[in-house]
C-alpha cells in the first residue's frame, strides 16, 4: 500500500512537493527551529512536504502539508489521539487515517481556526481528493487492490 502512495510523485513534481515514507523523522519545534527547541518527534507512515526549506539531513522540521497514517493492529487509541493532537497543534493541513482492515480513509482537514474537521469515511469505489493538492484524485479501489 505504501508503494501505491509513492505514485503521487508524478502529480507532486509539478507542485514542487515530495513524498517521504517512514522511517523519516518529523520534528515539531515549540518556539524556534533550533534542535534544542524540538518538542516532539514523530515518524508518519507517509508525508507530503511542499516547502522544501523544512527538509534537512535529519528529516523535516515543522508540519508537513499532508500526513498519512496507515493503521495496524499495534496502533492504540492513545497513540492515535496523541498524533492527532500533535498534527493539529502544529498545523498539518491534512491528516489521513487509512484503515487497511476496513479499506477506508478518513481525512481531517485543518480549518481557519486551526482545528481538524473530519471528512466522511471514504470506502471502496470512491475517489478522494485533497484541499492541499487541487486536482489530485485517488481511487480507493486502486489503493486497496492488493489487500
Q: How far apart are CA 59 and CA 146, in angstroms?
A: 30
Short-list 25, 111, 97, 99, CA closest to 67: 97
Phi, psi of 117 (to 5 degrees): -115, 125
Mean pLDDT in consecutive groups of 10 residues from the start of the chain, 147 residues? 62 83 90 62 94 93 95 84 94 95 95 96 94 90 82
Question: Are residues 44 and 64 in contact, defined by beta-carbon separation less than 8 angstroms?
Answer: yes
Q: What is the pLDDT of residue 69?
A: 94
Short-list 62, 84, 65, CA closest to 75: 84
Beta strand 66-71 pairing with 94-99: parallel
Q: What is the pLDDT of residue 16?
A: 83
Q: How far apart are CA 19 and CA 68, in angstroms?
A: 10
Long-range pairs for 135-140 at CB < 8 Å and ≥24 separation? 135/11, 136/8, 136/11, 140/103, 140/104, 140/105
Q: What is the pLDDT of residue 2?
A: 58
Q: How far apart are CA 99 and CA 39, in angstroms?
A: 28
Q: What is the pLDDT of residue 53?
A: 94
Amino acid at each position: 500500500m505504501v508503494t501505491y502512495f509513492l505514485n503521487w510523485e508524478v502529480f507532486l513534481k509539478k507542485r514542487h512537493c515530495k513524498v517521504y515514507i517512514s522511517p523519516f523523522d518529523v520534528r515539531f519545534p515549540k518556539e524556534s527551529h533550533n534542535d534544542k527547541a524540538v518538542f516532539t518527534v514523530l515518524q508518519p507512515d507517509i508525508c507530503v512536504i511542499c516547502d522544501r526549506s523544512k527538509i534537512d539531513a535529519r528529516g523535516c522540521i515543522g508540519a508537513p502539508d499532508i500526513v498519512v497514517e496507515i493503521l495496524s493492529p499495534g496502533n492504540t487509541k492513545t497513540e492515535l489521539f496523541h498524533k492527532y493532537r500533535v498534527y493539529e497543534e502544529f498545523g498539518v493541513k491534512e491528516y489521513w487515517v487509512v484503515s487497511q482492515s476496513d479499506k477506508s480513509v478518513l481525512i481531517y482537514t485543518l480549518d481557519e481556526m486551526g482545528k481538524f474537521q473530519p471528512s466522511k469515511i471514504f470506502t471502496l469505489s470512491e475517489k478522494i481528493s485533497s484541499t492541499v493538492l487541487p486536482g489530485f484524485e485517488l481511487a480507493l479501489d486502486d489503493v486497496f487492490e492488493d489487500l
